[in-house]
Structure 1
């Protein structure tokens, strides 16, 4: 990212001090192009989550649209014992492409309500270079990037937006370096 863009982001955040006190809505973005969203994403930070408790870093999620409208998910990460991976599937909820239900449990358990979790794209770059994923109860949060690192100023803007949406960003776990 160019220095002028970084300075503009930081200045914009600094100039919105009084406005920053206002809460941002915690809801999916109004539109999402799943085909542009598809592909590989690097996790930059996340809120603690049981299923990722062993992931130290190198967390990568790959999303592949399926012909039936669902999205195949392949997550990998580095643990203290080596690489780990898991497969899942997401489906659109309420005809809203940015509101997905994700299942990593085996298909035969899909009838259980707790087998699926809400996965909301709550903020996304116009060029699909970064995204912020949350959940209705604010217990899940991921900051993702197409690159394995993220600009520090951009990260702090996204972190502040997440705080304004009610997420406990003080508990974020950094899983990738910042530029």
Structure 2
């Protein structure tokens, strides 16, 4: 049975409130993917790599499950597997930051902090890149502090990995500190 990600609210506040870019980052916001077809975007995405983030500090493998809702919001279920093999999960919702604009979303999670401060505990979720088949995606935030490389497949080719890195670097992200997905055979040892 999965346990919930407790303490997720504080990192989301920090994610939404951090206003300065990291060393060497551009002061301009990164280019996004433009219009995102949320119907095609829903489903399961596997995290291949991410920049360090406090609330994922124990995650060896992560995945996100998105489901488009009748009101246009996206239901979010993030799951994280630790090196011990334990699953941790967080449920939330993503909504467009601007009506009709689907590449820049607000994400909030169902936890005590979000319930106490609903307007504060939300984070930027910018879809920076999507391939034409909706098989690979880059997601980040405007100050380049956070970045996720996502794919539909748990395992990827070196070619796909190289292209995702190229796309991230083209948007001004420093990829030297990426934390990569741990192989299945390294879990539970």
- State TM-score, norm by structure 1: 0.79
For 2:127 and 2:64, locate their aligned partners in 1 and report how far apart those are by CA, in whole Å. Answer: 14
1:150 deviation in Å? 1.3
Following TM superposition, by how much is the alpha carbon of 1:100 offset from its aligned partner in structure 2, in angstroms?
0.5
The structural deviation recorded for 1:164 is 2.4
Aligned match of 1:73 in 73, 76, 92? Answer: 76
DSSP 3-state at the match of 1:156? helix
Kept after mapping to 2: 8 A contact 1:74/1:86: yes
1:85 aligns with 2:89: yes
Aligned to 1:120, the other structure's residue is in SS state: strand
Greater CA drift, 155-164 or 39-48: 155-164
Q: 2:70 & 2:110 partners in 1: Cα distance?
A: 21
Return the offset for 1:109.
3.1
Question: How far is 1:112 from its partner?
Answer: 4.1
CA contact (8 A) 2:49 2:149 kept: yes
Whole-angstrom CA distance in 2 between matches of 1:93 and 1:112: 12
**Secondary structure in 2 matching 1:161:** helix
Structure 2 residue aligned with 1:121: 127
Corresponding residue number in structure 1 for 2:64? 61
Q: CA RMSD in A?
A: 1.9
Q: Does 1:36 align with 2:43?
A: no
* Cross-structure match for 1:109: 116
Which 4+ residue blocks in structure 1 deviate beyond 6 angstroms? Answer: none
More helix by share: 1
SS in structure 2 of the partner of residue 54 of structure 1: coil
Decide whether the 8 Å contact of 1:27 with 1:120 is kept in 2.
no
Gaps spanning 5+ residues in structure 2: where?
A: 1-25, 184-189
Cα deviation, residue 25, structure 1? 6.9
User: Which residue of structure 2 aligns with residue 19 of structure 1?
Assistant: none
- The answer to whether residue 178 in structure 2 is matched with residue 175 in structure 1 is no
Residue in 2 aligned with 1:20?
A: none
How many pairs were matched up? 153
**Distance in 2 separating the partners of 1:161 and 1:122:** 9
TM-score of the aligned structures, taking structure 2 as reference length: 0.75
Tell me, yes or no, if structure 1 residue 131 matches structure 2 residue 137: yes
CA distance in structure 2 between the aligned counterparts of 1:54 and 1:32, rounded to whole angstroms: 30
Are 1:154 and 2:130 matched, yes or no?
A: no
